[in-house]
Amino acid sequence: MSETPRLRIRGLHKRFGVKHVLRGLDLNVAAGGSTVVIGGSGTGKSVLLKCILGILQPDEGSIQVDGQELIGAAPAVVAEARARIGMLFQGGALFDSLPVWENVAFGALARRQVERRNARALAVETLAKVGLGPEVADLSPAELSGGMQKRVGLARAICTRPEMLFFDEPTTGLDPIMAEVINELIVDTVRKLGATALSITHDMGSVRRIADRVAMLYDGRIVWAGPVADLDHSGNDFVDQFVNGRAVGPIRVGAAGIGSG
Amino acid sequence: MNPLAAIGRAVLTAAAATGSLVVFAATAVGRGLIGPWYPRLVLRQMVEIGYFSLPVVGLTAIFSGMVLALQSYTGFSRFEAESAIATIVVLSMTRELGPVLAGLMVAGRVGAAMAAEIGTMRVTEQIDALTTLSTDPLRYLVFPRLIAGLLMLPLLVLVANAIGVLGGFVVSVWKLGFQPIEYINRTFEFLEPLDVISGLVKAAVFGFIVALMGCFQGYHSKGGAQGVGAATTRAVVTASILILVANYVVTELFFAR
Ligand SMILES: Nc1ncnc2c1ncn2[C@@H]1O[C@H](COP(=O)(O)OP(=O)(O)OP(=O)(O)O)[C@@H](O)[C@H]1O
Ligand SMILES: [Mg+2]
């Protein structure tokens, strides 16, 4: 823990009107690992990723990527940091006015990493990495199934060879087999790229499959963080309740035991 | 409760909305001019706005020209001024009806489509995705539409003017018994360049307004399909109102000297 973490967040606050979603969140993500953030629906997991990407403006706090502060930084600095991050959106967010291959090569084209005439070949090559054949390249995103859309989204995220990858609920809404395929792809691509991964998921199977470290978000803060091996004996009531999916426990409005563990 | 507070709140809301619209337009134009540019997207929008609006605008124009001739005849024949019909038709079309009707029709057709498309991109996080892929949504989505609106509406209005005058001609010659040559001569007798130019300036302003409202409402839509629907309605309504307001302002600037 002596080197600078790839991502360091301190005291992050985000409000939407009166709704106070993030309330002083702290998180470290070490370079090279795969961290998974777990937490209930609506606790602000997606908001956290969007704050890091600069899509949402936090109200307070510090976000550092490779030691570089992003809050209050010049737009060019934020853009440069963002260019090193690939993002798989919760809903895929594929551009439905463009064919699959242009979706995949979009970032590389925007950053002039590839000439337009070579872009299609790059896209086909990247699609192959996520197990999709060249025949998909000319389809429109609307013609793909949910699982294929996730794969195309993944291809789009890795096409620019980013140093960091964000996955927002990569397996939600997929059948168990497809979910497993996606998990495997994530583990694989992250290892091959040597990238740092920050993922969000509800799916405990997925957590055990892709995480080195786990952080639990509750009530706007990280209430527990540790290695995935400690997940089952974390000594934290929130984590216990979430991992075991119990209805009874501290994660209920008005329940006792907040802050224990 | 307090009526004054209600009025005050409404005024403040309207002022804030106007402010954010102006900031939105200025940012989009400012950044768009700096580039990077997307000529391919400008071209696509030009085809969308110009070419695909031709049938709607053409139909509107021809019937407007026809009814203008008919109405002026019933009115003007009462004091034997039928000979003014050709002038009435051409001046009404170029100065008022061409730009206003084309603007309103394009607001319904194109403004709505822009709001729906950009609104859908907003609620499905495609706009966020653009940002993460090093692409500025204002440069990529908004600026090309503004430029296309600004450039294409004048062209549409030129066509609408011609078709409208043709409509008036057809009714006058076939139904009201005018001499074709005589009618055509009369059409151009009192027509001045400024009549046409002011109409085209109006058209450019209206085209910008339509694209701006479509983009602005779509860009700020929230809350799923319902939000996109509401944004689409707002885009058409606000664009239509702004067109009529701008119509008066531009007319005043050109002719009230
Ligand atoms: N743009 C926004 N405007 C207003 N409120 C928002 C916005 N984005 C998120 N929220 C609110 O912030 C809270 C957290 O949302 P977020 O999408 O981060 O949840 P999440 O943890 O990702 O949930 P899920 O697991 O269901 O995706 C929600 O209550 C949501 O209503
Ligand atoms: Mg989410």
Residue B13 lies in a domain: no
Q: Is the previous residue joined to B39 through a cis bond, with omega within 30 degrees of 0? A: no
| Residue A82 contacts B, CB cutoff 8 Å | yes
Of B117, B124, B128, the CB nearest to A55: B128
Ligand positioned closest to the Cα atom of A45: 1
Q: How far away is chain A from the Cα of B43, in angstroms, using its nearest Cα?
A: 15
As a whole number, mean pLDDT of residues A30-39 equals 91
Residue B172 lies in a domain: yes
What ipTM goes with this model?
A: 0.89
Residue B126 lies in a domain: yes
| Residue A229 contacts B, CB cutoff 8 Å | no
What percentage of chain A exceeds 90 in pLDDT?
64
Spatial separation of the C-alpha atoms in residues B168 and B66, rounded to whole Å: 4
> Is the CB of A47 within 6 Å of ligand 1?
yes
Taken in order of first residue, the domains within chain A and their CATH numbers are 27-57+82-244 (3.40.50.300)
Atom of ligand 1 nearest to the CA of A39: 21
End-to-end CA distance of chain B: 46
Spatial separation of the C-alpha atoms in residues B20 and A239, rounded to whole Å: 44
Spatial separation of the C-alpha atoms in residues A167 and B74, rounded to whole Å: 71
Q: Residue of the nearest CA to atom 9 in ligand 1?
A: A47
Among B134, B145, B219, B228, most A C-beta atoms within 10 A, so best to mutate, is: B134
pLDDT band at B1 (very low <50, low <70, confident <90, very high): low
Residue B5 lies in a domain: no
What percentage of chain A exceeds 70 in pLDDT?
95
CA of B119 to the centre of ligand 2 (A): 19
Bridge partners of A27?
Answer: A9
Contact A91 B129 (CB under 8 A): no
Pocket test for ligand 1, best of A18, A20, A38, A46 (most atoms within 8 A of CB): A46
| Residue B126 contacts A, CB cutoff 8 Å | yes
Cβ atoms B86, B187 nearer than 8 A: yes
Q: How far away is chain B from the Cα of A109, in angstroms, using its nearest Cα?
A: 9
Beta strands in A68-220 (DSSP E): 68-69, 85-88, 164-168, 196-200, 213-218
pLDDT at residue A246 above 90? no
How far does CA B161 lie from the centroid of its chain?
14
Read out DSSP for A101-119?
HHHHHHHHHHTTSS-HHHH
Read out DSSP for B173-239?
HHTS---HHHHHHHHHHS--HHHHHHHHHHHHHHHHHHHHHHHHHHHT--SHHHHHHHHHHHHHHHH
pLDDT of residue A257: 35
Q: B11-38 pLDDT, tens per residue? A: 998 888 889 999 999 999 999 999 899 9
pLDDT of residue A259: 36
CA of A49 to the centre of ligand 2 (A): 9
Residues of B in contact with A160 (CB under 8 A): 133
How do beta strands A34-38 and A213-218 pair? parallel
Atom of ligand 1 nearest to the CA of A44: 18
Q: B147-161 pLDDT, tens per residue? A: 999 999 999 999 999
Spatial separation of the C-alpha atoms in residues A154 and A129, rounded to whole Å: 10
Contact B135 A110 (CB under 8 A): yes
Contact B134 A111 (CB under 8 A): yes
Residue B7 lies in a domain: no
Residue B6 lies in a domain: no
> Is the CB of A201 within 6 Å of ligand 1?
no
As a whole number, mean pLDDT of residues B52-81 equals 92
pLDDT band at A181 (very low <50, low <70, confident <90, very high): confident
For residues A206 and A261, the model is more confident at A206
Q: Residue of the nearest CA to atom 28 in ligand 1?
A: A42
Spatial separation of the C-alpha atoms in residues A253 and A247, rounded to whole Å: 12
Cβ atoms A63, A70 nearer than 8 A: yes
pTM of this structure? 0.90
pLDDT band at A65 (very low <50, low <70, confident <90, very high): very high
pLDDT band at B91 (very low <50, low <70, confident <90, very high): very high
Residue B4 lies in a domain: no
Residue B257 lies in a domain: no
| Residue A191 contacts B, CB cutoff 8 Å | no
| Residue B125 contacts A, CB cutoff 8 Å | yes
pLDDT of residue A254: 37
pLDDT band at A261 (very low <50, low <70, confident <90, very high): very low
> Is the CB of A45 within 6 Å of ligand 1?
yes
* Domain extent for B230: 18-252
| Total domains present in chain B | 1
